[in-house]
Chains A and B, each alone.
Chain A
Amino acid sequence: MPQRDLWGTLETTVLARPVSVPRGAAIGRHRESDVREAHRPAISDLACLPEHTLLERARAGEREAFGELVRRYQDAIYNLCYRMLGNAADAADAAQEVFLKAYRGLARYDPRRRFSTWVLSIASHHCIDRLRRRRATWVSLDSPPAQRASAAAPHPEEEVLRREVQDAVQEALNTLPPEDRLILVLHYWHDLSYRDIASVVGLSENAVKVRAYRARQRLGKWLKERGWMP
């Protein structure tokens, strides 16, 4: 991995451009979503409906209403799966499974809970199970990066740079045990509080805080050793 300042280059070339936040985006960061929006299905009337209405309709069997929820949360769920599993193919497959599990579990969904937290919770357990089935072997650093719609990328050099950054982030995350990685991903990418993370992973809030602390400490030392950050 080159030791040049990927972050600085990325921020001056790619991230400096204004990014249109997709409609209905509820959780997580969406810095790349502007490129993707051109390929998304046309926004229907459902896009204007509030989440609870969509949930009611989805529970009554309206597939399109659930589809709208998928549209809103696909980036967040895919991102979580990608960060946990480390490669695009597994992440895409896992994200589909997560949404199918959510659809089948709609009858058990408690409306007092935030839908985003509920889906992230399903995704978290699914990814941890998947990693356990892999016998906890961490993903090879040579695994293919997330597939991008290269045709949609207006600047191929930016795309290459973006890919390098994504790989660097993934390499750093892969140094952590899955449970710790999950906590950091939920905290930094999905803006979940320690309390919410605790309810997702089934630990006490204090335990989550300690794990996050240790994971950050470990990651910080690793970043210095690699010379990525001073």
Chain B
Amino acid sequence: MNPTETRRGETHPDVTMFDRWLAGEPMPAAAEAHVRACPECRETWEALQRAHAFLRRAPQVAAPADLYRHVLDRLPREDRRPALVWLLPLVAAWLVVWMAAWGISRMSVLWATPFGRTVLAAGEATLGLARTLAAIWTSVLHAVFWAPWGILLSVTGFLVVVVWLALLRYGCRVAVATYSR
């Protein structure tokens, strides 16, 4: 790598020097004389020049005409909107729905009366319907809206579901209390 001294006190050019000369920098007269006289350096310099000329003139291979189309066809279809942002309120809404349904089913007092059982059945049927509507509504949101509006509407929908469940639960309690009296 570093210039090495010859027996005559001259130095063999190093990698960097050869590189600069290949790039077009003029070779100093002393170095040129050395390269001409030193068989090892002459051979190296000629080989470097040969390779340099060969590579500089080598043409570029053009891409096949269909490469562009193939790449586009293979790009993932789904957009790059943050899926998690959509998912979190939906998962939370689902959890609330299922926990509410589970909670209502655990209200054994409801099972104790025919009226309670009727209310419970109606409630569960309504829950099923709500779940279906929520799924449709969510898919529509996914398809139509960009993330900011989608998040806003998801949160709104989530709140609506929560309020709706609270009202359902309150209604059930009032009905059971009235019947029990």
Chain B at the A interface: mostly helix, strand, loop or mixed?
helix
Q: How far is the CA of A31 from the CA of B61 in the complex (A)?
A: 9
Mark contacts of B64-84 with chain A using CB atoms, 8 A cut-off: 1 yes-contact digit, 0 otherwise: 110111111011100111000
Q: How far is the CB of B152 from chain A (nearest CB, A)?
A: 19
In the complex, how many residues of chain A place their beta carbon closer than 8 angstroms to a beta carbon of chain B?
69
Q: Which of A46-54, A55-63, A110-118, A126-134 participates in binding chain B?
A: A55-63
Query: Which residues of B have CB within 8 Å of A104?
Result: 76
A33 within 8 A of B: yes
Q: Is the CB of A30 within 8 A of B67?
A: no
Q: Is the CB of B65 within 8 A of A188?
A: no
Chain A at the B interface: mostly helix, strand, loop or mixed?
helix
Q: Is the CB of B47 within 8 A of A217?
A: yes
Partner of A7, one of B57, B69, B76, B80: B57
Q: Is the CB of A61 within 8 A of B64?
A: no
Q: Is the CB of A78 within 8 A of B47?
A: no
Q: How far is the CA of A219 from the CA of B45 in the complex (A)?
A: 12
Q: Is the CB of A103 within 8 A of B62?
A: no
Query: Which residues of A have CB within 8 Å of B48?
Result: 213, 216-217, 220
| Known A70-B68, A70-B72, A223-B54; contact A166-B59, beta-carbon cutoff 8 A | yes
Interface residues on B, range: 35 or more
Query: Which residues of A have CB within 8 Å of B124?
Result: none
Q: Which of A6-24 contact B (CB under 8 A)?
A: 7, 10-11, 15
B18 within 8 A of A: yes
Q: How far is the CB of A90 from chain B (nearest CB, A)?
A: 12
Q: Which of A60-80 contact B (CB under 8 A)?
A: 60-61, 63, 66-67, 70-71, 74-79
Q: How far is the CA of A212 from the CA of B55 in the complex (A)?
A: 12
How many A-B pairs have beta carbons closer than 8 Å: the answer is 153
Q: Is the CB of A162 within 8 A of B63?
A: no
Q: Is the CB of A67 within 8 A of B68?
A: yes
Query: Which residues of B have CB within 8 Å of A228?
Result: 54
Query: Which residues of A have CB within 8 Å of B6?
Result: none
Nearest A residue to B57 via CB reads: A7
| Known A30-B60, A59-B80; contact A152-B55, beta-carbon cutoff 8 A | no
Q: Which of A143-178 contact B (CB under 8 A)?
A: 146-149, 152, 162, 165-166, 169, 172
Q: How far is the CA of A204 from the CA of B62 in the complex (A)?
A: 31
Query: A-contacting residues of B (Cβ < 8 Å)?
Result: 1, 15-16, 18-19, 22, 44, 46-65, 67-72, 74-76, 79-81
